[in-house]
Amino acid sequence: MLFLLTTYHLPLTTYHLPLTTYHFIPLTDKVYSFLSSLVKDAFRVYLDLLKIMLPVSLGVRLLQQTNVIDILGNWLAPLAIALGLPSGGAMVWVNTLLTNMYGGMITFHSLQLGATMSVAQVTVLAQLMLVAHTFPIELSIARKAGIPFLSMFLWRFIMAIVSAWMLYLLLSSFQLLTAPVHLPEAMTLPGTAQDTWPVWLMNEVQRYIMVFFVVLALMAVMRILKASGFIDAFSRSLRPVMRWLGIHESVIPITVVGMTLGILYGGALMIEETRKHNLAPKDVFYAFCLMGICHSIIEDSLLMMTLGANGYVVFLYRPLCALVTLFIVVRVFNSLPAKLSTWIMQRK
């Protein structure tokens, strides 16, 4: 009996040992770690943005002083007027094309457009910016993946104008979103081209502070959505649609990444996959056509909402345009002669 008791006792002691290996992190430590990482990453991104914001703001200020903006606005007025925008909207888009979304946003605020535009006008301008921006970087990524620079430039440039024009016709025909834009006070600081340099500088500093908090909020939202599994679930829900459009299975995961997180991420993955697995040029081209119109769905759409664009439109209209146009493009290109489609799709 003594022997049995001792032998049964030994396993009881061994069961206790693994319990000592568990470590429970207090909730406060997790929150602190999350906030600390968030602020550090946001500040790093913000420093990169300052490299764009400072010269853009200074450039706009100098142009205001020399009336060059008025001249450029007159040159580009036909495009802006055709889309129901003030001439300054064209300058915002040009800066967006050459820099990025933030460069366009800084120009938007520097020109005080938020004080004069309706929600419909800002939403149309947002469509231009969402489809065609950061061309020096994003078109270079597409080219490195094997897409001709000119093909992707024309695709995104033309689609930006056409989709914005169709949206303008839709909103104006039914008199939708005609209310004036109401931005936070810090984003609509009073100021004109006649302001003294100290007054202008103070206004710009306040805008820069606001931009930091916008970046911080956007990064927080993105991390929460990722942690909750929303982005993964959203990505999975898009896959059946990709198959229906005619996008090959091999590029669907990468295309979904580009649509949700941006061309920078999706394009980088596409370049790597092309190098490793020799993807078909038409599959890569179709993927970039879709990503070119509709990428970074969540982050970029939230940015446009901070300008006063309607959230429902910026979240739904661009994906719809991308899906419809790609459905047409796939079927048109499948009917073209092989040499012509290869010339358009594949970089020599």
* In a domain? residue 225: yes
* pLDDT at position 294 over 80: yes
Count of domains observed in the chain: 1
Of 348 and 17, the structure prediction assigns the larger pLDDT to 348
Alpha carbons 272 and 274: distance in angstroms, whole number:
5
* In a domain? residue 222: yes
* Domain interval for residue 232: 33-345
* In a domain? residue 18: no
Burial class of 306 by CB neighbour count within 10 A (0 to 12, 13 to 18, 19+) = middle
* In a domain? residue 25: no
196: left (phi over 0), alpha (psi -120 to 50) or beta: beta
* In a domain? residue 117: yes
* In a domain? residue 6: no
* In a domain? residue 1: no
pLDDT digits (tens, 9 = 90+) for 74-122: 787 789 989 999 988 988 898 888 878 887 888 888 888 888 899 999 9
Q: E-assigned strands of 125-255?
A: none
Confidence grade of residue 2 (pLDDT, cut at 50, 70, 90)? very low
Range 173-202 average pLDDT: 74
pTM of the model: 0.73
* In a domain? residue 22: no
Per-residue pLDDT at 289: 92
